[in-house]
Amino acid sequence: MKDTLIEKAKEVRLKAYAPYSNFLVGAAVLTNSDKIYVGCNIENSSYSLTCCAERVAIFQAISAGETNIKAMAVVGDADEPISPCGACRQVMSEFINLDTPIYLANISGVINELTINDLLPLAFGAKQLNDK
């Protein structure tokens, strides 16, 4: 499944709207129902309104009623595998379990396999909101 997710992320990255950075990113998530949802980065001239591929893929899954992700891949054209931004890491932590594999890759085939705890240790989440 890892190879399929990475391939889907590579494919959708070519649909990215990135006229300002020209940095195309694709992401794919596999849900518990074995469906794959994809997303690409969508830039905006007001940079803070740009939406990253990771969040687009997760939001696609959520919009389809899927809230449990069992694997994720993120692909970009860089020397090393790319890594999600802080906002994406926070969103990922909402829907990805601590042991869920996250594949960070580049288009040359270099892959790092991590977990959300590797990317965002001590994440803020529902536990903190419910611990009153």
What's this model's pTM, rounded to 2 decimal places? 0.93
Domain boundaries, the chain: 2-130
pLDDT tier, 130 (very low <50, low <70, confident <90, very high otherwise): confident
pLDDT in tens, 38-80: 999 999 999 889 999 999 999 999 999 999 999 999 999 999 9
Give every CB contact of residue 25 below 8 A, 6+ residues apart in sequence.
13, 16, 18, 40, 41, 52, 53, 54, 74, 75, 76, 82
Specify whether domain 2-130 bears CATH 3.30.540.10. Answer: no
Burial class of 98 by CB neighbour count within 10 A (0 to 12, 13 to 18, 19+) = exposed
**Residue numbers annotated as active site:** 54
Here the tokens at position 113 are 């396999």
Here the tokens at position 32 are 């518990």
pLDDT tier, 132 (very low <50, low <70, confident <90, very high otherwise): low
Place of tokens 């906002």: 87
